[in-house]
Amino acid sequence: MKQQHSTADLTQAQDVPSIIRPYGDTTGDAMVQTSFTLPVPAGRRAELAALRLAGQMGLDPASVVHSKPMGPDFTFFIVYGRVNHLIDYAGIQAPEGRGYPLLPAKEVDLAIRTVLNRRLVVIGACIGTDAHTVGIDAILNVKGFAGEKGLEYHREIQVINMGAQVTVEELVERAKAANADAVLVSQVVTQKNAHIHNTKQMAAAFHDAYPTAVGPGMGRPLLIVGGPRFDTVAEQELGVDRIFGKGTTPGEVAGYLVHALLPSWTPGEPS
């Protein structure tokens, strides 16, 4: 499907300069704001340490605009300063669009009913020690997110929400028992890259437990992971089929399920 651009979009793209720098108070002033915590008691010496760190980060001049004790032995800082770096914006290449069309709920159900002739089985969970179910619930539960109904709203999708702190072994076992077509995993806890380690462990377990082929009746289920901190890694690194970031809506996930699992379906096909 060819992506359509409005005249306003094209004009805006043409007006963007090829070389850019950060903006703080005035366009092109190269001012940035950053925050961090140092393991030292609050005080003048701590502020000087923060300024020294800012200087090593390339902020010159820099100033501490906020500092706050975080207990007796730690201090939180907000530092404001100028950087000397330029960004070659013209040389940055990024994929345009999501790569598949969004579909109305009725068409998602029609595609599943027409191609599969059965309900599409989706299992969702938060794995490891992650107990934050808000994200996975927003995608799966009928109440949904951002004005969109969750996957439970679809008559042709069977949703199994396993909840929080599910082990990888439990997830694989449930997926096999339910003959799952897709597995959705949410990871919010990111300390010490727990989300990366958990996802790689999960993907490796599914690749070992299933044939390599992906799709309904062809082998392992589609592996989808979501969370706010996956922007530094790619699907190939984690061993999953799709990564969704913050702000993802149920409609985006439903559209991807049709795109990835039902490639023979053409959007807009009559019933």
The model's pLDDT over 198-222, given as tens digits with 9 standing for 90+, comes to: 999 999 999 999 987 887 766 899 9
CA Rg value for the chain: 23
> Residue 30 in contact with residue 84, Cβ under 8 Å?
yes
CATH code matching the domain that covers 105-261, chosen among 3.40.30.10, 3.40.630.10, 3.40.50.280, 3.50.50.60: 3.40.50.280
The tokens describing 89, both together, are 């914006």
Delimit the domains of the chain by residue range.
19-88, 105-261
Closest CA to 120 of 31, 49, 180, 209: 180
For 215: left if phi > 0, alpha if psi spans -120 to 50, otherwise beta; the answer is left
pLDDT tens digits for range 86-122:
999 988 887 777 889 999 999 999 999 999 999 999 9
Query: What is the rounded CA–CA span in Å between residue 214 and residue 102?
Result: 22
pLDDT, residue 108, reads 97
Whether pLDDT at 11 is above 60: no
- Annotate 96-109 with b (16+ C-beta within 10 A) or e (fewer): eeeeeeebebebbb
Instruction: Let me know if 143 is a catalytic residue.
Output: yes
Closest CA to 124 of 263, 259, 257: 257
pLDDT, residue 206, reads 96
Percent of all residues in the chain with a pLDDT value above 70, rounded to a whole number? 93
pLDDT, residue 129, reads 87
pLDDT, residue 162, reads 96
For 245: left if phi > 0, alpha if psi spans -120 to 50, otherwise beta; the answer is beta
Residue 211 DSSP one-character state: -
> Residue 86 in contact with residue 18, Cβ under 8 Å?
no
pLDDT tens digits for range 150-169:
999 999 999 999 999 999 99
Catalytic residue among 68, 106, 143, 246: 143
Q: Averaged over 9-27, what is the pLDDT?
A: 75
Class of CATH domain 19-88: alpha beta
Query: What is the rounded CA–CA span in Å between residue 132 and residue 125?
Result: 10
pLDDT, residue 12, reads 47
What is the overall mean pLDDT for the chain?
90
Least confident of 71-75, 180-184, 204-208, 244-248: 244-248
Burial of 55 from C-beta contacts in 10 A (0-12 / 13-18 / 19+) = middle
